[in-house]
Amino acid sequence: MAEVTRERWTSRAPFIFAAIGSAIGLGNVWRFPYITYEYGGGTFLIPYVIGLLIMGIPWMIMEFGMGRYFQKGAPGAFESIGKKWEWLGWWPVWVAFLIVTYYTVIIAWSLRYAISSATVEWGMGQAGAEGAGDFFFGTVLQLSDGPTVLGPPVWFIFGLLAFVWLVIFLIMFRGARVIGKVSVGLVILPWLLLIVLFIRGITLPGAVDGLNFYLAPDFAVLGNVEVWFAAFSQIAFTLSLGMAGMIAYGSFIAKKADVNNSAIITSFSDAATAFFAGFAVFSTVGFIMQALNIPIGEVSAAGLGLAFVSYPVAISMMPGANALVGVLFFLCLFFLGTTSAYFLAYGGVAVPLMDKFGWSRIKATLIVTIACFLVGILFTTQGGLYWLDIVDRAMAFYALLITGALACLVIGWFFGPGKLREHNNETSDIRIGAWWDWFIRLIVPAGLIFVVVVGGFMKDVPEQYEGYQVGALGGSHVIWLILGVTLIFSILMSLIKTKSAGGGE
C-alpha cells in the first residue's frame, strides 16, 4: 500500500516552515500592503483578520486534514470520496501547473533585477528615477503592443527561467525531507532580509508619511462591500489554498502529529509577514513621495509596478548603500517566490502524478520541470506580460476560488466534515468543535462565491478584462476559455484508468 511507503516530513518544524514558505510569497510584499492602504488603512485589518479566522484557518485545517486522512494529493483524496469527484482533485492541479509557469517567470525577473541592482543599471539619482519605468518595460521585458504580438523570447529572462527551474528541480526531486529542510532556511532568510529592508525603510526621510498612508484608520470603509471582497480574496490567495498543494503537504504529516495548530501557526505567520512587509514597503513609498515631491497617487505601490518600478526608483534616490539594498530586496523576492514555486510544482502537480500513475519521484519531477519550463517560455516573450495578466486572473482568481468553494461543498455535504475533524482532533494540540463543520459547509464556500461573483463576474462579464483583444476574443472570453479547457482536461485526467489509482500499490 502507498501508505506504508508514503514520504514524511522529518519533524514538525520542517513541515510548518514548508507550509509557511508556500504561503508567504510575492503577494505578501506587493499585494497586501497596497490593498491595506487602498481599503481603509489600519481599519482593513478588521475584515482581513475576520477573513483569516472564518475562512482561511478553517479551510487550511480542511486541506491539511484531507491530505492526512486520505494519504494522497488532491486527486487521490477526491477519488477516495467517490470516483465521480476525482475531476475536482485534478482541476486545482491544472491551476497549480499554470500558476507556477508564470510565477517562476516573475522570479526570473527578480533575479534579473538582483543582477542589475549590483550596478544600479537603470541609473542613479534623478535620471535613474525617471528611467526606471522604461528600464522595466523596455529593457527587461521588451514589451510588445498587445497579447497577439509575441515576438521572440527575451533571452536573458529565458536563461534565468531555466536557472530558476534548475533550482526548483534540485530541491523537489528529493521530496518532502529535503523540501522541509531547505524551507527552514528559505523562510528565515527573507524574514531577515525584510528586517534589514524595514530598518532601511523607516530611517529614510519621509518614511513616516508613507506609514501614515499605510495604516491611518478609516472606519467608514467597513460598510463598503468592496473592502470585504478585497480582504477575502487576499486571504484565499495569500494562504496558497485551493491549489492542491496543501493537501499534498498535509499527506506527509506523520500519523501522530498535530494538524490544527499547524494550520493556525502557518496562517498567522503569513499574516504577520505581510503586515511587517507593509512597513518596509510603505516607508519606502513615503521616501519616494518626498524625494520626487509627488503625491501618493503617483507612486505605483501595487503589484509589478511596486516591485519593478517604484522600488528601483527608491534605490536610485537613496542616500547610500543603493546597490546593496537593491540586491537584498530582489534576493528577498527570489527566496519568497522559490518556496511557493516548488510547493506548486511538487505538492500541486508532481505528487498527484506520482499518486495516480505510480511514477517515481525523479520521473514526475523531471516531467513537471520540463513541461512547466516549456509553457513558461510564453511568458518570457515580448507579449508575455499580457498573457501573464490574463492567465493570472483566470487561475489565481477564478479557478482558485471556484475549486476551493466546490471542495468545501463536497467535503461539507458529501463526505462529512465531522470525520476529518475527529481525525484531526485525535492528534492535535488544539481540538476544534462541531462549529467547524458549518464553516466548511456554509461560511467558507459562501465567502468564496461572494468574491467570485462580486469581485469577478460582476466586473468581467459586462466589460472585457483589461480591454484585451485576442483576435475575435476579448480578455474575459479568454479567461472563460482557459477555465473551460482546464476543467475539461481535469475530467479527462479522472477518466484515465491506472493500476495504481485508488488505494495505490
Please report how close the Cβ of residue 436 comes to ligand PHE at its closest, in angstroms.
23
Helix, strand, coil tally for the chain in percent (to 5): 80, 0, 20
* Strand, coil or helix: 393: helix
The residue count for the chain: 505
C-alpha cell at 10: 522529518
Q: Which is nearer to ligand PHE, 336 or 487 (CB)?
A: 336
Per-residue CA distances from 42 to 205, 213, 215, 494 (Å): 22, 9, 4, 46
Q: Parallel, antiparallel, or unpaired: how do β-strands 469-470 and 473-474 relate?
A: antiparallel
Please report how close the Cβ of residue 96 comes to ligand PHE at its closest, in angstroms.
7
23 makes contact with ligand PHE (CB under 6 A)? yes
Rounded Cα distance between 327 and 309, Å, is: 15
Rounded Cα distance between 163 and 111, Å, is: 10
Residue 326's closest CA among 284, 380, 286? 284
Applying CB under 6 A, what is the total number of residues that bind ligand PHE?
12
Q: Which is nearer to ligand PHE, 25 or 180 (CB)?
A: 25
Please report how close the Cβ of residue 115 comes to ligand PHE at its closest, in angstroms.
22
Among 9, 18, 20, 25, binds ligand PHE (CB under 6 A): 25
Residue 150's closest CA among 375, 383, 376? 383
Q: Which is nearer to ligand PHE, 349 or 478 (CB)?
A: 349
Please report how close the Cβ of residue 243 comes to ligand PHE at its closest, in angstroms.
5
Q: Which is nearer to ligand PHE, 202 or 277 (CB)?
A: 277
Tracing cell 519593478 back to the chain, one arrives at 308
Show the binding pattern over residues 189-228: x = contacts ligand PHE (CB under 6 A), - = does not. Answer: ----------------------------------------
340 makes contact with ligand PHE (CB under 6 A)? yes
28 makes contact with ligand PHE (CB under 6 A)? yes
Q: Which is nearer to ligand PHE, 26 or 60 (CB)?
A: 26
Among 18, 19, 26, 449, binds ligand PHE (CB under 6 A): 26
27 makes contact with ligand PHE (CB under 6 A)? yes
Please report how close the Cβ of residue 452 comes to ligand PHE at its closest, in angstroms.
16
Residue 145: exposure state from Cβ atoms within 10 A (0-12, 13-18, ≥19): exposed
**Structure letter (DSSP) for residue 175:** H
Greatest Cα pair distance, the chain, in angstroms, is 67
Exposure of 283 in the CB half-sphere (CA atoms within 13 A): 20
Show the binding pattern over residues 227-266: x = contacts ligand PHE (CB under 6 A), - = does not. Answer: ----------xx-x--x-----------------------
Tracing cell 528541480 back to the chain, one arrives at 169
Helix axes 86-117, 400-410, angle to 10 degrees: 140
Please report how close the Cβ of residue 83 comes to ligand PHE at its closest, in angstroms.
27
Q: Which stretch binds ligand PHE (CB under 6 A): 25-33, 253-261, 357-365, 470-478?
A: 25-33
48 makes contact with ligand PHE (CB under 6 A)? no
98 makes contact with ligand PHE (CB under 6 A)? no
Please report how close the Cβ of residue 451 comes to ligand PHE at its closest, in angstroms.
15
C-alpha cell at 359: 511514477
99 makes contact with ligand PHE (CB under 6 A)? yes
Cα dihedral sign for 119, 123, 125, 131?
negative
344 makes contact with ligand PHE (CB under 6 A)? yes
424 makes contact with ligand PHE (CB under 6 A)? no
Cα dihedral sign for 459, 461, 462, 467?
positive
Per-residue CA distances from 168 to 6, 48, 74, 186, 191 (Å): 21, 32, 21, 12, 20
Please report how close the Cβ of residue 344 comes to ligand PHE at its closest, in angstroms.
5
Please report how close the Cβ of residue 279 comes to ligand PHE at its closest, in angstroms.
17
104 makes contact with ligand PHE (CB under 6 A)? no
Which residues of this chain interact with ligand PHE, rule CB under 6 A? 23, 25-28, 99, 237-238, 240, 243, 340, 344
